[in-house]
Amino acid sequence: MKLEFAVLPTQPITCIEDFRKLARRRVPRMFYDYADSGSWTEETYRSNETDFSKIKFKQRVAVNIESRSIKTTMLGKEVAMPVAIAPTGLTGMQHADGEILAAQAAEEFGVPFTLSTMSVCSIEAVAASTTKPFWFQLYVMKDRDFIRRLIERAKAARCSALVLTLDLQVLGQRHKDIKNGLSTPPKPTIRNLINLATKPRWCLNMLKTHRRTFGNIVGHAKGVGDLSSLSSWTAEQFDPALSWNDIEWIKKHWDGPLVLKGIMDAEDIPHAIDSGADALIVSNHGGRQLDGAPSSISALPAISEAAGSKIEVWMDGGIRGGQDILRARALGAQSTMIGRAFLYALGAMGKEGVTKCLELLANELDISMGFCGKTDINDVDRSILLNPDIFD
Protein backbone atom coordinates (compact mmCIF):
# COMPACT_ATOMS: atom_id res chain seq x y z
CA MET A 1 0.00 0.00 0.00
CA LYS A 2 1.44 3.38 -1.06
CA LEU A 3 1.32 6.16 1.49
CA GLU A 4 0.15 9.51 0.17
CA PHE A 5 3.09 11.49 1.53
CA ALA A 6 5.40 9.16 -0.34
CA VAL A 7 4.13 10.47 -3.66
CA LEU A 8 4.47 14.24 -3.34
CA PRO A 9 4.90 15.98 -6.71
CA THR A 10 8.56 16.08 -7.65
CA GLN A 11 8.08 18.18 -10.78
CA PRO A 12 6.23 21.45 -11.36
CA ILE A 13 2.58 21.27 -12.40
CA THR A 14 2.35 22.35 -16.05
CA CYS A 15 -1.02 21.06 -17.27
CA ILE A 16 -4.42 19.83 -16.10
CA GLU A 17 -3.29 16.22 -16.51
CA ASP A 18 -0.68 16.83 -13.78
CA PHE A 19 -3.46 17.98 -11.45
CA ARG A 20 -5.51 14.92 -12.32
CA LYS A 21 -2.70 12.56 -11.42
CA LEU A 22 -2.01 14.37 -8.16
CA ALA A 23 -5.71 14.47 -7.25
CA ARG A 24 -5.91 10.72 -7.82
CA ARG A 25 -3.25 10.29 -5.16
CA ARG A 26 -4.65 12.76 -2.66
CA VAL A 27 -8.43 12.40 -2.86
CA PRO A 28 -10.15 9.26 -1.50
CA ARG A 29 -10.91 6.87 -4.32
CA MET A 30 -14.67 7.19 -3.94
CA PHE A 31 -14.64 10.97 -4.47
CA TYR A 32 -11.89 11.01 -7.10
CA ASP A 33 -13.84 8.45 -9.14
CA TYR A 34 -17.03 10.48 -8.64
CA ALA A 35 -15.34 13.32 -10.54
CA ASP A 36 -13.37 11.27 -13.04
CA SER A 37 -16.19 9.23 -14.49
CA GLY A 38 -19.05 9.34 -16.95
CA SER A 39 -22.26 7.38 -17.30
CA TRP A 40 -22.42 3.80 -18.61
CA THR A 41 -19.69 3.15 -21.22
CA GLU A 42 -18.25 6.67 -20.71
CA GLU A 43 -18.19 7.12 -24.48
CA THR A 44 -19.64 10.63 -24.34
CA TYR A 45 -17.34 11.54 -21.46
CA ARG A 46 -14.32 10.50 -23.54
CA SER A 47 -15.49 12.09 -26.79
CA ASN A 48 -15.95 15.42 -25.00
CA GLU A 49 -12.16 15.46 -24.67
CA THR A 50 -11.02 13.66 -27.83
CA ASP A 51 -13.21 15.66 -30.24
CA PHE A 52 -11.35 18.83 -29.31
CA SER A 53 -8.10 17.48 -30.70
CA LYS A 54 -9.71 16.94 -34.12
CA ILE A 55 -10.00 20.71 -34.57
CA LYS A 56 -6.83 22.10 -36.16
CA PHE A 57 -5.53 25.65 -36.00
CA LYS A 58 -4.10 27.73 -38.84
CA GLN A 59 -0.70 28.92 -37.79
CA ARG A 60 0.02 32.52 -38.83
CA VAL A 61 3.37 34.31 -38.72
CA ALA A 62 4.77 37.83 -38.81
CA VAL A 63 1.54 39.38 -37.53
CA ASN A 64 2.08 41.95 -34.78
CA ILE A 65 0.71 40.22 -31.69
CA GLU A 66 2.57 42.28 -29.14
CA SER A 67 -0.48 43.47 -27.28
CA ARG A 68 -3.11 40.81 -26.64
CA SER A 69 -6.31 40.52 -24.60
CA ILE A 70 -8.35 37.50 -23.60
CA LYS A 71 -10.91 39.54 -21.65
CA THR A 72 -14.51 39.24 -22.72
CA THR A 73 -18.00 39.47 -21.24
CA MET A 74 -20.51 37.00 -19.84
CA LEU A 75 -24.04 38.28 -19.20
CA GLY A 76 -22.75 41.78 -19.97
CA LYS A 77 -20.06 41.72 -17.24
CA GLU A 78 -16.33 41.71 -17.93
CA VAL A 79 -14.48 38.45 -17.21
CA ALA A 80 -10.70 37.88 -17.24
CA MET A 81 -11.11 35.15 -19.88
CA PRO A 82 -14.03 33.27 -21.46
CA VAL A 83 -14.31 30.78 -18.62
CA ALA A 84 -16.61 30.27 -15.64
CA ILE A 85 -16.37 27.59 -12.99
CA ALA A 86 -19.15 25.06 -13.64
CA PRO A 87 -21.46 23.87 -10.87
CA THR A 88 -20.30 20.55 -9.45
CA GLY A 89 -21.92 18.57 -6.66
CA LEU A 90 -19.93 17.41 -3.62
CA THR A 91 -17.02 19.74 -4.42
CA GLY A 92 -16.38 20.00 -0.69
CA MET A 93 -15.44 16.32 -0.79
CA GLN A 94 -12.61 16.82 -3.30
CA HIS A 95 -11.08 19.09 -0.66
CA ALA A 96 -12.45 20.35 2.66
CA ASP A 97 -14.45 23.56 2.13
CA GLY A 98 -13.88 23.07 -1.61
CA GLU A 99 -16.66 25.36 -2.81
CA ILE A 100 -15.42 28.25 -0.66
CA LEU A 101 -11.83 27.80 -1.83
CA ALA A 102 -12.78 27.58 -5.51
CA ALA A 103 -15.12 30.59 -5.23
CA GLN A 104 -12.33 32.64 -3.64
CA ALA A 105 -9.83 31.62 -6.35
CA ALA A 106 -12.32 32.45 -9.11
CA GLU A 107 -13.16 35.82 -7.55
CA GLU A 108 -9.49 36.77 -7.27
CA PHE A 109 -8.84 35.71 -10.85
CA GLY A 110 -11.88 37.51 -12.25
CA VAL A 111 -14.04 34.67 -13.54
CA PRO A 112 -17.52 33.64 -12.34
CA PHE A 113 -18.00 30.79 -9.88
CA THR A 114 -21.20 28.71 -9.95
CA LEU A 115 -22.37 26.99 -6.77
CA SER A 116 -24.28 23.73 -7.26
CA THR A 117 -27.55 22.94 -5.54
CA MET A 118 -25.74 19.75 -4.43
CA SER A 119 -22.76 21.57 -2.91
CA VAL A 120 -21.27 20.78 0.48
CA CYS A 121 -20.74 24.43 1.50
CA SER A 122 -24.07 26.23 1.62
CA ILE A 123 -25.05 29.34 -0.34
CA GLU A 124 -24.74 31.35 2.89
CA ALA A 125 -21.29 29.94 3.73
CA VAL A 126 -19.91 30.81 0.27
CA ALA A 127 -21.47 34.29 0.44
CA ALA A 128 -19.88 34.89 3.85
CA SER A 129 -16.44 33.90 2.52
CA THR A 130 -16.45 35.93 -0.72
CA THR A 131 -16.81 39.62 -1.50
CA LYS A 132 -18.25 39.56 -5.04
CA PRO A 133 -21.48 37.94 -6.25
CA PHE A 134 -21.32 34.34 -7.47
CA TRP A 135 -23.82 32.35 -9.53
CA PHE A 136 -26.19 29.71 -8.21
CA GLN A 137 -27.14 26.52 -10.09
CA LEU A 138 -30.62 25.18 -9.57
CA TYR A 139 -31.91 21.63 -9.91
CA VAL A 140 -35.66 21.57 -10.04
CA MET A 141 -37.02 19.31 -7.32
CA LYS A 142 -40.61 18.13 -6.91
CA ASP A 143 -40.86 20.07 -3.65
CA ARG A 144 -41.51 23.46 -5.28
CA ASP A 145 -41.74 25.19 -1.90
CA PHE A 146 -38.13 24.11 -1.23
CA ILE A 147 -37.15 25.46 -4.67
CA ARG A 148 -38.89 28.77 -4.00
CA ARG A 149 -37.00 29.10 -0.71
CA LEU A 150 -33.72 28.10 -2.36
CA ILE A 151 -34.21 30.88 -4.93
CA GLU A 152 -34.92 33.33 -2.09
CA ARG A 153 -31.72 32.21 -0.33
CA ALA A 154 -29.73 32.73 -3.55
CA LYS A 155 -31.17 36.23 -3.86
CA ALA A 156 -30.41 37.03 -0.22
CA ALA A 157 -26.82 35.83 -0.77
CA ARG A 158 -26.44 38.33 -3.68
CA CYS A 159 -26.11 35.64 -6.35
CA SER A 160 -26.00 37.46 -9.68
CA ALA A 161 -27.22 34.73 -12.04
CA LEU A 162 -29.30 31.57 -11.82
CA VAL A 163 -28.04 28.61 -13.85
CA LEU A 164 -30.96 26.27 -14.38
CA THR A 165 -29.88 22.72 -15.18
CA LEU A 166 -32.32 20.99 -17.50
CA ASP A 167 -30.64 17.64 -18.18
CA LEU A 168 -31.12 15.89 -14.85
CA GLN A 169 -34.79 14.95 -14.74
CA VAL A 170 -33.62 11.38 -14.30
CA LEU A 171 -30.16 10.20 -13.25
CA GLY A 172 -27.54 8.66 -15.53
CA GLN A 173 -25.77 5.68 -13.97
CA ARG A 174 -22.06 5.75 -13.18
CA HIS A 175 -20.77 2.24 -12.60
CA LYS A 176 -17.82 3.41 -10.49
CA ASP A 177 -20.05 5.19 -7.95
CA ILE A 178 -22.08 2.04 -7.39
CA LYS A 179 -19.00 -0.16 -7.08
CA ASN A 180 -17.35 2.31 -4.67
CA GLY A 181 -20.44 2.48 -2.45
CA LEU A 182 -20.86 6.23 -3.04
CA SER A 183 -24.08 6.98 -1.22
CA THR A 184 -25.31 9.25 1.56
CA PRO A 185 -23.85 8.39 4.00
CA PRO A 186 -20.91 6.70 2.15
CA LYS A 187 -20.60 2.94 2.78
CA PRO A 188 -17.78 2.30 5.28
CA THR A 189 -16.45 -0.80 3.51
CA ILE A 190 -13.03 -2.22 4.45
CA ARG A 191 -11.75 -1.12 1.04
CA ASN A 192 -12.95 2.47 1.59
CA LEU A 193 -11.49 2.61 5.10
CA ILE A 194 -8.10 1.31 3.94
CA ASN A 195 -8.14 3.82 1.12
CA LEU A 196 -8.96 6.67 3.53
CA ALA A 197 -5.95 5.70 5.65
CA THR A 198 -3.72 6.49 2.65
CA LYS A 199 -5.03 10.07 2.39
CA PRO A 200 -3.85 11.75 5.64
CA ARG A 201 -3.82 15.28 4.17
CA TRP A 202 -7.44 14.98 2.99
CA CYS A 203 -8.54 13.46 6.32
CA LEU A 204 -6.82 16.15 8.39
CA ASN A 205 -8.42 18.96 6.39
CA MET A 206 -11.80 17.25 6.65
CA LEU A 207 -11.46 16.98 10.43
CA LYS A 208 -10.85 20.74 10.61
CA THR A 209 -14.14 21.65 8.92
CA HIS A 210 -17.72 21.04 10.00
CA ARG A 211 -18.97 21.12 6.39
CA ARG A 212 -19.40 17.48 5.39
CA THR A 213 -22.91 17.17 4.03
CA PHE A 214 -25.16 18.81 1.43
CA GLY A 215 -25.23 22.29 2.95
CA ASN A 216 -28.10 23.66 0.83
CA ILE A 217 -30.42 20.80 1.69
CA VAL A 218 -29.89 19.31 5.15
CA GLY A 219 -31.93 21.30 7.66
CA HIS A 220 -33.72 23.19 4.84
CA ALA A 221 -35.79 20.55 3.05
CA LYS A 222 -38.81 19.14 4.82
CA GLY A 223 -37.97 15.88 6.62
CA VAL A 224 -34.22 16.06 5.85
CA GLY A 225 -32.32 16.35 9.09
CA ASP A 226 -29.53 13.83 8.61
CA LEU A 227 -27.61 11.95 5.96
CA SER A 228 -29.82 8.88 5.78
CA SER A 229 -33.03 10.87 5.28
CA LEU A 230 -31.19 12.94 2.64
CA SER A 231 -30.48 9.84 0.58
CA SER A 232 -34.13 8.89 0.10
CA TRP A 233 -35.14 12.56 -0.33
CA THR A 234 -32.74 13.18 -3.24
CA ALA A 235 -33.56 9.84 -4.88
CA GLU A 236 -37.19 10.83 -5.21
CA GLN A 237 -36.91 14.61 -5.59
CA PHE A 238 -35.43 15.19 -9.08
CA ASP A 239 -38.48 16.09 -11.12
CA PRO A 240 -39.05 14.01 -14.27
CA ALA A 241 -42.11 16.14 -15.08
CA LEU A 242 -40.07 19.34 -15.54
CA SER A 243 -41.17 21.19 -18.69
CA TRP A 244 -40.60 24.51 -20.42
CA ASN A 245 -43.68 25.86 -18.59
CA ASP A 246 -41.86 25.52 -15.26
CA ILE A 247 -39.19 27.94 -16.47
CA GLU A 248 -41.74 30.73 -16.49
CA TRP A 249 -42.49 30.00 -12.82
CA ILE A 250 -38.78 30.01 -11.96
CA LYS A 251 -38.19 33.22 -13.90
CA LYS A 252 -41.01 34.91 -12.01
CA HIS A 253 -39.50 34.00 -8.63
CA TRP A 254 -35.87 34.65 -9.60
CA ASP A 255 -36.32 37.88 -11.57
CA GLY A 256 -32.64 38.16 -12.61
CA PRO A 257 -30.21 36.85 -15.26
CA LEU A 258 -31.14 33.27 -16.18
CA VAL A 259 -28.89 30.68 -17.85
CA LEU A 260 -30.18 27.37 -19.23
CA LYS A 261 -27.73 24.48 -18.88
CA GLY A 262 -27.82 21.22 -20.81
CA ILE A 263 -29.01 22.19 -24.31
CA MET A 264 -27.62 19.74 -26.88
CA ASP A 265 -29.94 20.04 -29.87
CA ALA A 266 -30.85 22.93 -32.15
CA GLU A 267 -34.52 21.84 -31.97
CA ASP A 268 -34.59 23.09 -28.36
CA ILE A 269 -33.32 26.55 -29.28
CA PRO A 270 -36.72 28.16 -30.07
CA HIS A 271 -37.92 27.08 -26.58
CA ALA A 272 -34.78 28.45 -24.97
CA ILE A 273 -35.19 31.80 -26.73
CA ASP A 274 -38.93 31.98 -25.96
CA SER A 275 -38.21 31.29 -22.29
CA GLY A 276 -36.53 34.69 -22.11
CA ALA A 277 -33.26 33.23 -20.74
CA ASP A 278 -30.13 35.33 -21.16
CA ALA A 279 -27.70 32.53 -22.02
CA LEU A 280 -27.61 28.81 -22.68
CA ILE A 281 -24.89 26.25 -22.12
CA VAL A 282 -24.28 23.53 -24.68
CA SER A 283 -23.58 20.73 -22.23
CA ASN A 284 -24.02 16.99 -21.82
CA HIS A 285 -23.24 17.27 -18.10
CA GLY A 286 -19.65 16.25 -18.74
CA GLY A 287 -20.78 12.90 -20.17
CA ARG A 288 -22.54 11.99 -16.92
CA GLN A 289 -26.11 11.81 -18.16
CA LEU A 290 -27.01 10.54 -21.67
CA ASP A 291 -24.10 8.34 -22.70
CA GLY A 292 -24.12 8.11 -26.52
CA ALA A 293 -24.97 11.80 -26.87
CA PRO A 294 -22.50 13.73 -29.05
CA SER A 295 -19.60 15.61 -27.54
CA SER A 296 -20.49 19.17 -26.56
CA ILE A 297 -17.94 20.70 -28.94
CA SER A 298 -19.40 18.78 -31.90
CA ALA A 299 -22.94 19.91 -30.99
CA LEU A 300 -21.87 23.55 -30.61
CA PRO A 301 -21.77 24.83 -34.24
CA ALA A 302 -25.38 23.89 -35.08
CA ILE A 303 -26.66 25.33 -31.81
CA SER A 304 -24.67 28.51 -32.17
CA GLU A 305 -26.07 28.98 -35.68
CA ALA A 306 -29.67 28.33 -34.58
CA ALA A 307 -29.32 30.74 -31.65
CA GLY A 308 -27.86 33.59 -33.72
CA SER A 309 -27.57 36.70 -31.59
CA LYS A 310 -30.83 36.11 -29.69
CA ILE A 311 -29.21 34.45 -26.68
CA GLU A 312 -25.61 34.06 -25.45
CA VAL A 313 -24.21 30.60 -26.24
CA TRP A 314 -21.61 28.99 -23.95
CA MET A 315 -20.36 25.43 -23.84
CA ASP A 316 -18.79 23.00 -21.40
CA GLY A 317 -17.47 19.45 -21.49
CA GLY A 318 -13.92 18.23 -22.05
CA ILE A 319 -12.02 21.50 -21.65
CA ARG A 320 -8.55 20.52 -20.44
CA GLY A 321 -6.47 23.40 -21.74
CA GLY A 322 -6.51 26.96 -23.07
CA GLN A 323 -6.48 25.64 -26.64
CA ASP A 324 -9.85 23.98 -26.05
CA ILE A 325 -11.27 27.33 -24.96
CA LEU A 326 -9.90 28.90 -28.16
CA ARG A 327 -11.46 26.13 -30.28
CA ALA A 328 -14.82 26.55 -28.55
CA ARG A 329 -14.69 30.27 -29.11
CA ALA A 330 -13.83 29.72 -32.82
CA LEU A 331 -16.84 27.42 -33.23
CA GLY A 332 -19.29 29.91 -31.81
CA ALA A 333 -19.16 29.83 -28.00
CA GLN A 334 -19.07 33.26 -26.40
CA SER A 335 -17.66 31.56 -23.34
CA THR A 336 -17.00 28.22 -21.67
CA MET A 337 -17.27 26.48 -18.32
CA ILE A 338 -14.83 24.12 -16.67
CA GLY A 339 -15.76 21.20 -14.42
CA ARG A 340 -13.12 18.53 -13.95
CA ALA A 341 -10.22 20.86 -14.78
CA PHE A 342 -10.84 22.83 -11.58
CA LEU A 343 -11.95 19.78 -9.56
CA TYR A 344 -8.65 17.98 -10.17
CA ALA A 345 -6.75 21.16 -9.27
CA LEU A 346 -8.77 21.58 -6.09
CA GLY A 347 -8.34 17.96 -5.04
CA ALA A 348 -4.61 18.18 -5.76
CA MET A 349 -3.75 21.49 -4.13
CA GLY A 350 -6.82 23.26 -2.70
CA LYS A 351 -7.27 26.96 -3.48
CA GLU A 352 -3.71 27.31 -4.75
CA GLY A 353 -4.47 24.56 -7.26
CA VAL A 354 -7.57 26.31 -8.61
CA THR A 355 -5.65 29.58 -9.00
CA LYS A 356 -2.86 27.74 -10.82
CA CYS A 357 -5.41 25.96 -13.01
CA LEU A 358 -6.93 29.29 -14.09
CA GLU A 359 -3.45 30.71 -14.74
CA LEU A 360 -2.48 27.72 -16.87
CA LEU A 361 -5.65 27.97 -18.95
CA ALA A 362 -5.28 31.74 -19.43
CA ASN A 363 -1.65 31.46 -20.44
CA GLU A 364 -2.27 28.69 -22.96
CA LEU A 365 -5.28 30.53 -24.39
CA ASP A 366 -3.36 33.80 -24.75
CA ILE A 367 -0.32 32.29 -26.43
CA SER A 368 -2.27 29.98 -28.72
CA MET A 369 -4.44 32.91 -29.83
CA GLY A 370 -1.22 34.77 -30.69
CA PHE A 371 0.08 31.82 -32.74
CA CYS A 372 -3.16 32.05 -34.75
CA GLY A 373 -2.40 35.71 -35.49
CA LYS A 374 -5.12 37.20 -33.26
CA THR A 375 -4.70 39.78 -30.54
CA ASP A 376 -8.24 40.00 -29.13
CA ILE A 377 -10.29 36.98 -28.05
CA ASN A 378 -13.42 38.83 -29.16
CA ASP A 379 -12.14 38.75 -32.78
CA VAL A 380 -11.62 34.98 -32.78
CA ASP A 381 -13.89 33.14 -35.21
CA ARG A 382 -13.83 30.15 -37.56
CA SER A 383 -11.16 31.81 -39.70
CA ILE A 384 -8.47 30.64 -37.23
CA LEU A 385 -9.29 26.99 -38.02
CA LEU A 386 -7.98 24.77 -40.81
CA ASN A 387 -11.07 22.56 -40.70
CA PRO A 388 -13.86 24.91 -39.54
CA ASP A 389 -16.59 22.67 -41.02
CA ILE A 390 -15.52 19.58 -39.10
CA PHE A 391 -18.77 19.29 -37.11
CA ASP A 392 -21.19 20.84 -39.65
Size of the site for ligand FMN (CB under 6 A): 25
Site for ligand FMN in 80-109 (CB under 6 A): 86-89
Contact with ligand FMN (CB under 6 A) among 172, 257, 339, 350: 339
Minimum gap (Å) between residue 50 Cβ and ligand FMN: 12
Give the nearer residue to ligand FMN in terms of CB position, either 116 or 334. 116
Q: Is 165 among the residues that bind ligand FMN (CB under 6 A)? A: yes
Minimum gap (Å) between residue 65 Cβ and ligand FMN: 28
Segment (H or E) for 235: helix 227-237
Give the nearer residue to ligand FMN in terms of CB position, either 52 or 57. 52
Residue 193: which residues within 8 A CB-CB, separation 6 or more? none
Contact segment (CB under 6 A) with ligand FMN among 2-10, 235-243, 332-340, 377-385 equals: 332-340
Q: Give the Cα separation of 295 and 316 in Å (integer).
A: 10
Q: Is 118 among the residues that bind ligand FMN (CB under 6 A)? A: yes
Q: Is 44 among the residues that bind ligand FMN (CB under 6 A)? A: no
Residue 268: which residues within 8 A CB-CB, separation 6 or more? none
Q: Is 122 among the residues that bind ligand FMN (CB under 6 A)? A: no
Q: Is 285 among the residues that bind ligand FMN (CB under 6 A)? A: yes
SS3 at position 151: helix
Contact with ligand FMN (CB under 6 A) among 82, 172, 257, 318: 318
330 CB-contact burial (10 Å; exposed 0-12 / middle 13-18 / buried 19+): buried
Contact segment (CB under 6 A) with ligand FMN among 105-113, 152-160, 282-290, 298-306 equals: 282-290
Pattern 245-264, binding to ligand FMN, x per CB under 6 A?
Answer: ----------------x---
DSSP state of 264: -
C-alpha distances in angstroms, 99 versus 13, 96, 214, 239?
A: 22, 9, 12, 25
Tell me how crowded residue 69 is: count the other CB atoms within 10 A of its CB.
Answer: 14
Minimum gap (Å) between residue 378 Cβ and ligand FMN: 23
Site for ligand FMN in 341-380 (CB under 6 A): 341, 343
DSSP secondary structure, 299-331, as one string:
HHHHHHHHHTTSSEEEEES---SHHHHHHHHHT
Give the nearer residue to ligand FMN in terms of CB position, either 199 or 340. 340
Q: Reply yes or no on whether 220 is catalytic.
A: no
Q: Which residue in 175, 210, 253, 285 is the catalytic one? A: 285
Radius of gyration for the alpha carbons in the chain, expressed in angstroms and rounded: 20
Q: Residue 34: which of 378, 352, 258, 347 has the closest Cα?
A: 347
Q: Is 286 among the residues that bind ligand FMN (CB under 6 A)? A: yes
Q: Which residue intervals of 55-189 are DSSP H helices?
A: 98-109, 123-129, 144-156, 175-180
Q: Which residues participate in catalysis according to the annotation?
A: 285
Question: Where along the sequence are the contacts to ligand FMN (CB under 6 A)?
Answer: 34-35, 48, 86-89, 116, 118, 137, 165, 261, 283, 285-286, 288, 316-319, 338-341, 343
